[in-house]
Amino acid sequence: MFRKGETFRSLTGLDSTSATEQDLNGNQLRKSSNGRLGMEWYPTSSQVIGWNVNVNQNNRSYNSSLENSEVWDTGTAFTSNRITDQGSGGQGWDVDGNYRREFNNNPKHFLSAQIRHSRSKSRSDEFIEERARESDNGAMALDTNIQINTSNRTVAQIDFEKPLSNDGKWELGWKSNVSVKDDRFEYLASDTAIWQEGILVPIRPVAAAFDFTYKEDIHAIYSTFGRKYGVYGVQGGLRLEQVFTEAQWEGDQSFLNDYFSAYPSFNLSKQRNDEVSWIASYSRRVNRPRGRSVTPFIDDSDSRNIRTGNPELRPEYTNSMEIGHQWTRKRISVTTSLFWKITNDIIQRYSSIDAQGVRTSSWINQGQRQNEGLEIIAMAPLPRRGQARLTASVYHLRNSVGDVEFASDAIGWSYNFNFFANQSLGDNGQWKWQINGIYRGPSITPQGRFNGYTFMDANIQRSLLDGDLTLLLKLSDVFDTREWSYLSEFANLYQENRSKRESRNLFLTATWKIGKLEERRRRSPESRGFSGEGLDGLDF
């Protein structure tokens, strides 16, 4: 598997300007194996007790070459080559137990409980060597990055659901999610570094290490109630959460963020006739920082563009309101909705640049974002139990950054498209095919512009042995168009980046089901309704 990228940057100094071109080429080999064992026991016709065990193991080897070509308007020019070799491996497992009881032989009236514990551990060793080309002095820089990551998570959940008169429903639940992430980083550190023939050379580097621990406990209770009053439908919900967050790094540094939050939701609908309905909704949601965004490890695999996380990130909150109209005839439907979203304390990537021209990118809580727009969802049947769905949205966005250096308010328009289709073939639907295409339009950001992306996946599935054996053939990114590109323009820096990994891959998966064990969808207590800008937050 390859990875390639291109960067052009222009840096303006006090009395001169440099132009730098970077070309990245890399190869990656990944191997993974997974296993799953599960069992279900039915003590009565209305009760089921089950357990599952999942194990996985993976290995990865990666090497890359980053070529830098830097030219100053004073006539000075430098070229260098940065070689990276990396190997990593990890393993993990999880075990879960579940219980479900249905009342009065009604699958919509039930009590369910689940507990799950998972653990994973991985190690990554990275070695970097950068040398000046066509140099008499032979400037060189060496670096080593070793990461050891351990993660533990326990999730417990209880849900109760009861149908009510007039197509009503009452849901009540509790969920706790307790997680601990321990990371250790070993690297070469230096108090001073100088530019020498286009290479940032550390002075007398020494071995160093630090540990990072991130703990997050989330405890929630939630309930929803809904019913119909003639042609009107009403649904209201409330989720109450108590969260305890603690980050510790480099021995004595820590960050605590304990908070209580309420997340209400409300839907009001009107069924005008058999074909036309209206709906209005409000909801409040949270997006918590995760993974790389909070880990303070400094990734200097590109000495001109350093990346790190921010363990002091706070969650972002979004208030959403939508008004929608739906027309339905037989299996054809068209849904049109106007949506408005406002997000506070946005978790946003942020970059700064120092006097040596080194760009450092991290994450901060940056002001407020407001989106308002239109979304249209059209659904139509295909022959032989098939379906096609087209989703399109156009919206106006406004980012207010507040008093943040190197960033400015961003105002503009963007748009998204998504197409999905599937169909069953054969006498009993033994054959199935599916395609899914996504286009995300360009959008302005507080420090430049995101250029958008597009891709399409396709797969075909065959069921054998009365459905016990399933073969799935999937081709990802059929037209090989999936890439990430953006423009950064702030302070004295202008930089264009394009990054692409090998995304067109062919996967063959075989699944053999023993007995009657079935996949059960995990239920979400949050309200459901019109999606509004449904691609928001999609990343790769």
Picking from 321, 326, 225, 319, the residue whose alpha carbon sits closest to that of residue 269 is: 326
- CA separation, residue 28 to residues 2, 12, 128, 203, 477 (Å): 6, 36, 16, 32, 18
How large is the average pLDDT for residues 316-323?
98
pLDDT confidence of residue 515: 63
Please state which of the ranges 118-127, 298-307, 362-371, 527-536 shows the lowest mean pLDDT.
527-536
Three-class DSSP labels, 208-248: EEEEEEEEEEEEEEEEEEEEEECCEEEEEEEEEEEEEEEEE
Q: What is the mean pLDDT of residues 194-200?
A: 86
Which tokens go with 401?
A: 């950054």
Q: What is the pLDDT of residue 137?
A: 72
pLDDT at res. 126: 94
Instruction: Tell me the C-alpha to C-alpha distance, in Å, between residue 124 and each of 66, 147, 156.
Output: 20, 5, 31
- Checking if the pLDDT of 519 tops 80, the result is no
3-class SS at 293? helix
All residues at 6 or more sequence positions from 423 whose CB lies less than 8 Å from its CB, including other chains: 382, 383, 384, 385, 386, 387, 432, 433, 434
User: What mean pLDDT is predicted for residues 517-522?
Assistant: 45
**CA distances (Å), 57 to each of 126, 164, 521, in order?**
20, 47, 25
Question: Which pLDDT belongs to residue 356?
Answer: 81
> In the prediction, which pLDDT does 1 show?
62
Question: What average pLDDT does range 499-512 have in this prediction?
Answer: 90
- Residue 525 pLDDT > 60: no
Confidence at 540, pLDDT banded by 50, 70, 90: very low
Phi, psi (deg, nearest 5) at residue 467? 90, -5
Count of CB atoms within 10 A of residue 365's CB? 19
Segment 340-365 shows an average pLDDT of 93
Residue-level pLDDT at 516:
56
Residue 6: its H or E element: strand 2-12
Whole-angstrom Cα distance, residue 191 to residue 88? 28
**Residue 314's closest CA among 243, 410, 387?**
243
274 band by pLDDT with thresholds 50, 70 and 90: confident
Rama region for 294: left / alpha / beta (φ>0; ψ in -120 to 50; rest): alpha
pLDDT band at 30 (very low <50, low <70, confident <90, very high): confident
Q: What is the pLDDT of residue 14?
A: 77
Check whether 383 has a pLDDT greater than 80: yes
Q: Please give the Cα distance from 459 to 423 (Å, whole number).
A: 11
**199 vs 378, higher pLDDT:** 378
Locate the domains of the chain by residue range. 2-365
The DSSP annotation for 500-524 comes to EE----EEEEEEE--TT----PPP-
What's the pTM value of the predicted model, to 2 decimals? 0.86
Residue 21 has pLDDT above 90, yes or no: yes
> What is the mean pLDDT of the segment spanning 34-46?
92
pLDDT band of residue 427 (cuts 50, 70, 90) is: confident
CA distance 437 to 388: 12
Query: How many angstroms separate the most distant Cα atoms in the chain?
Result: 86
Q: Give pLDDT, residue 533.
A: 39
Above 50 in pLDDT, residue 302?
Answer: yes
Nearest to 281 by CA among 536, 3, 8, 528: 528
Output the six-digit token pair for 204. 């007398």
* CA geometry: angle 13, 18, 21, nearest 5 deg: 145
Asked if pLDDT for residue 263 goes beyond 90, the answer is: yes
Rounded mean pLDDT of 57-68? 94
Residue 519: CB partners within 8 Å, gap ≥ 6? none
Whether residue 473 is predicted with pLDDT greater than 90 in this model: the reply is yes
Average pLDDT over all residues of the chain: 90
Tokens of 294: 């909070």
pLDDT digits (tens, 9 = 90+) for 200-214: 888 999 999 989 999
> Is residue 231 within 8 Å of residue 270, measured between CB atoms?
yes
Residue 15 has which token pair?
A: 């009395």
Is the pLDDT assigned to residue 451 strictly greater than 80?
yes
Mean pLDDT across 487-504: 93
